[in-house]
Amino acid sequence: MEYDFNAIEKKWQAKWNENETYRVTEDPAKKKFYVLDMFPYPSGAGLHVGHPLGYIASDIFARYKRHQGFNVLHPMGYDSFGLPAEQYAIETGQHPAITTKNNIARYRQQLDQIGFCYDWSREVRTSDPSYYKWTQWIFAQLFDSWYNLDTDKAESISTLVAKFEENGSYNVNASIDQEWYKHLSMDEFPLFGEHFAGEFTATDWKSLSEKQQQLILMNYRLTYLADSVVNWCPALGTVLANDEVKDGRSERGGHPVEQKLMRQWMMRITAYAERLLNDLNTIDWTDSIKEIQRNWIGRSEGAKVLFGIDGHDDMIEVFTTRPDTIFGVSFMTLAPEHTLVAQITTSEYKAEVEAYVEKAAARSERDRQSDTKEISGQFTGAYALHPFTGKKIPIWIGDYVLASYGTGAVMAVPCGDQRDWDFARHFRIPIPNIFEGVNVDDEAHTDKTTPICESEFLNGINGKDAIARAIEELEKIGAGEGKINYRLRDAVFSRQRYWGEPFPICYKDGVPYEVETEQVTLPPVDKYLPTEDGEPPLARANQEDWNIWEGDRMEFNTMPGWAGSSWYFLRYMDPQNDAEFCSKEKAAYWGQVDLYMGGAEHATGHLLYSRFWTKFLADHGYIEFNEPFKRMINQGMIQGRSSLVYRVVNTNKFVTFEKKGEYETQTLHVDISIVDNDILDQDAFKQWRAEYANAEFILNDDGKYTCGWEIEKMSKRWYNVQTPDELVEKYGADTLRCYEMFLGPIEQHKPWDTKGISGVHNFLRKFWRLFHDSDNNVQLSDDAATADELKALHKAIKKVSEDLDRFSWNTVVSALMIAVNELGELNCNKRSILEPLTVLLSPYAPHVAEELWERLGRTDSVVDQSWPAFNADHLVEKAFAYPVQINGKVRFKIDLSLDLNPGEVEKEVLAHEKAAQYLEGKEPRKVIVVPGRIVNVVV
């Protein structure tokens, strides 16, 4: 075999390994470039061809940047805590650490054969105690921090305590639940009276016991314990974050999810909502991902308004974006889950309200969301009091109001909001009009610019002015204030799972404290299931099973999957440091990730949490940047291409695709490994499964069986999974790398199809042949290159460089093919051409490039060669075949010197016989000459 890719690839992978070719260290003399792949979960199923798509693209880019003289950080590791290993542990009893280790070994072997330039000395695993030690440390930093809105950043809790000691709560402007004091158990705080509303003096603070102080501080911390309504998944025995729930079911496993009140660790990501939103403008991500995040954060400006309740002390707080329409309020709607519902409902309506609440609770979130047409609600019998007019406003409950958004209560303005209008119309509630010259009999009027009437001080004004004025007046009477509301919720951070980071937390007298003496590691347990009384698996461990036990008990929850992946890009910079999560100097040198390659599916999870933790660490000065990933490219998914055979109904005969219309057939999937270019290997098919052993075939006119095909998800079920292993075996890693890039634009979803891989393989063989004679002996010339050869080379240098700079990986392969085709035609075997060409190839096909580099007589590695310099002189043309358009349509071409000026070109064109033919003796109306491009004659 002339191009023995298997031997070549093994040889160079071993050499790279031996020479530590891809090991990098900080080098202040060089500019850095950080290329990162999204953290993979090492699943037991291994890789299919879709997985390495992004890895190949980033690997090519990393190599390209290295050729350009950058010090390139290109690491890889494993997000190795996670459900599948735990699930396997539950089923088999095998410790998840063992499963994880085995899976990683397989993963690594698969990655290695593709020839990536990862610096494996920097590998990290989130489940490794030396890694999660620092995940726990970051958690502890969050626990020990509060968000100061005055400085707009996170600060150590000690600065808060100092403020409390100096002036009580009065000068504290923290990001905190405005009603935090309602969650304090007043039995614990006899000092605070009945009317305690969260404010206390320095003297109060100093008189509080340690426990009391801790209970208060808990409400300020960036990670805090709170009773919150969580997405509880009984089948998984755990809570899920909002983004882990899809359509009311768990993203993993598709199990039903219900709402449940539980005491959970929370992450105060909402403190960062504004910064997470604004800083999207500083990063180079696709619009679609930025848009998804903006949507998820869901900022809206408006006002908080307080409504009194007739006969009660409580107030109903609502959030509205249209405080200017406050005089149009004709009813209030509370979410059925609203805490005040039970209190305010009158005895007369008690039964109906309870029935409605029960009905709403029984409906799954999904039902409530999908059913938007049917209007339902129930009057409570209670009345709110309008803050300005004092008028009584009926209070309803309705499930179109979501407990989780805003305050769970709406001031309904039917004339200005379509949902309120629909509700009012349905229940025959009056629809007072407050818009000048507008009819609201048939629908609500949502235009903000219409002047307002019937509204006291708001009469005659509109839009922003009216909103500002309304807020001003609300503040004057103490019934509200301007407010910005976010859809973003604080993230639940507890999981009732075994295979995750244990919290560095113990409890004393019910109060959580950080364990600081030693790292808490996962204790062994007898089973990986919850305890009988529903405690998480860690509760199974006895005191002596824990490496450390403080206080009354340890925390039994573990951290969620996204904990370890929220900061892993930092650990790569300094993976072995056991004194810090990452040294400040190294973080400063490597800085932001310059190119992040990964899927778009993490838009609201990982990509938001990483940004949050980065900002937090920057607030404390551990790192110098606010955003983790400067530029991100989202690779598209590779779909499977299934092969189909057609069985004639009730027979064992299979009819070829071309003739299936002549029979009544049943379509069956067939393993793609026994199909080549849609032609079925009939013998292999008979052996594939016992039931097909006696299969007969109705063939096409060429005596072949053609399969049909369909694009669907790559899955074992459809027998359409293509592993990289088979292709590496058959064509080599270099071919696989080039082919995956050649498939099309990186961001696009595309079906996998091995049709065409032979073309890419041929290209590498042609490349090889430029260096060798027909007996596969190296034959190279030291003669000077011709102008044509230099032109072919420099055309490629230009195109390859430009395309890589704009992340157009697919067109680079074409450019290299063109160069090889042209040089092949010229029978070029000149060193001066092939050396730079080999460097151009090396990011895509590093193994064969190294081999050829060696055959060129070089003893150094091709990966360290500087990128060939482009010289435009070699592309200068003397003549050009001008396409000549007559009225915008190309009619003929004319060879002209490029030295001619437009006037001369025009003259030559008009003198051409073809031009005369189209002009039919008439004078052209206009002639446009674009030098070196085109000529257009307007007749």
Q: Which of residues 471-490 bind RNA (CB under 7 A)?
A: 487
Footprint on residues 386-405 left by RNA (CB under 7 A) = 399-402, 405
Residues 6+ apart with CB under 8 A from 938: 887, 924, 925, 926, 927, 928
To RNA, the closest distance from the beta carbon of 760 in angstroms equals: 6
To RNA, the closest distance from the beta carbon of 216 in angstroms equals: 29
Closest by CA position to 855, among listed 929, 758, 780 = 780
Bridge-based pairing state of the strands 392-397 and 378-385 = antiparallel
Q: Is the CB of 112 or the CB of 822 nearer to RNA? A: 822
Closest by CA position to 211, among listed 193, 191, 228, 227 = 191
To RNA, the closest distance from the beta carbon of 405 in angstroms equals: 3
Residues 6+ apart with CB under 8 A from 876: none
Q: Is 731 exposed, middle or buried (0-12, 13-18, 19+ CB in 10 A)?
A: buried
- Is residue 56 at the binding interface for RNA, with CB under 7 A as the rule? no
- Is residue 716 at the binding interface for RNA, with CB under 7 A as the rule? no
Q: Is the CB of 200 or the CB of 596 nearer to RNA? A: 596
- Is residue 938 at the binding interface for RNA, with CB under 7 A as the rule? yes
Which sign does the torsion angle of CA 468, 470, 471, 477 carry? positive
Q: What is the DSSP string of 873-917?
A: GGG--SEEEEEEEETTEEEEEEEEETTS-HHHHHHHHHHSHHHHH
Please identify which residue in 279, 676, 712, 725 interacts with RNA, judged by CB under 7 A: 676
Please identify which residue in 37, 753, 835, 908 interacts with RNA, judged by CB under 7 A: 753
Q: HSE, CB side, 13 Å, CA atoms: give it for residue 162.
A: 6
Q: Is the CB of 77 or the CB of 414 nearer to RNA? A: 414
- Is residue 244 at the binding interface for RNA, with CB under 7 A as the rule? no
- 555 vs 552: CA distance, rounded Å: 10
Q: How large is the C-alpha radius of gyration of the chain?
A: 35
Letters for 815-854 (x = contact with RNA by CB under 7 A, - = none) are --xx--x---------------------------------
Please identify which residue in 893, 910, 919, 931 interacts with RNA, judged by CB under 7 A: 893
Read off φ and ψ for residue 146, nearest 5 degrees: -130, 165
Footprint on residues 498-527 left by RNA (CB under 7 A) = none
Q: Among 4-12, 306-314, 619-627, 761-769, which window interacts with RNA (CB under 7 A)?
A: 761-769
Q: Is the CB of 314 or the CB of 371 nearer to RNA? A: 371
The one-letter amino acid at 252: R
Residues 6+ apart with CB under 8 A from 887: 936, 937, 938, 939
Please identify which residue in 38, 727, 743, 848 interacts with RNA, judged by CB under 7 A: 743
Please identify which residue in 13, 238, 604, 865 interacts with RNA, judged by CB under 7 A: 604
- 274 vs 284: CA distance, rounded Å: 18
Letters for 522-561 (x = contact with RNA by CB under 7 A, - = none) are ----------------------------------------
To RNA, the closest distance from the beta carbon of 413 in angstroms equals: 7
To RNA, the closest distance from the beta carbon of 358 in angstroms equals: 16
Tell me which residue has tokens 């370890």. Answer: 564
Q: HSE, CB side, 13 Å, CA atoms: give it for residue 290.
A: 16
- 500 vs 558: CA distance, rounded Å: 5
For 192, the token pair is 């605070």
Q: Is the CB of 476 or the CB of 806 nearer to RNA? A: 806
Closest by CA position to 12, among listed 576, 617, 846 = 846
- 849 vs 63: CA distance, rounded Å: 12
Tell me which residue has tokens 């938007």. Answer: 372
Q: Among 312-320, 472-480, 506-514, 719-727, which window interacts with RNA (CB under 7 A)?
A: 312-320
- Is residue 425 at the binding interface for RNA, with CB under 7 A as the rule? no
Closest by CA position to 573, among listed 558, 583, 559 = 583
Footprint on residues 83-142 left by RNA (CB under 7 A) = none
Strands of 619-730 (E only): list them.
632-634, 638-648, 653-655, 665-670, 675-676, 679-680, 696-698, 708-712
Tell me which residue has tokens 């004639």. Answer: 648
Please identify which residue in 350, 689, 907, 933 interacts with RNA, judged by CB under 7 A: 933
Please identify which residue in 17, 92, 209, 295 interacts with RNA, judged by CB under 7 A: 295
Q: Is the CB of 168 or the CB of 924 nearer to RNA? A: 924
Please identify which residue in 319, 388, 616, 853 interacts with RNA, judged by CB under 7 A: 319
Footprint on residues 797-816 left by RNA (CB under 7 A) = 799, 802-803, 806, 808, 810-811, 813-814
Footprint on residues 860-889 left by RNA (CB under 7 A) = 881, 883, 885, 887-888
The three-state secondary structure class of 300 is: strand
- Is residue 607 at the binding interface for RNA, with CB under 7 A as the rule? no
Count of positions on this chain that bind RNA (CB under 7 A): 83
- Is residue 411 at the binding interface for RNA, with CB under 7 A as the rule? yes
Q: Among 289-297, 309-317, 379-387, 388-396, which window interacts with RNA (CB under 7 A)?
A: 289-297
Q: Is the CB of 668 or the CB of 930 nearer to RNA? A: 930
Q: Is the CB of 33 or the CB of 296 nearer to RNA? A: 296
- Is residue 760 at the binding interface for RNA, with CB under 7 A as the rule? yes
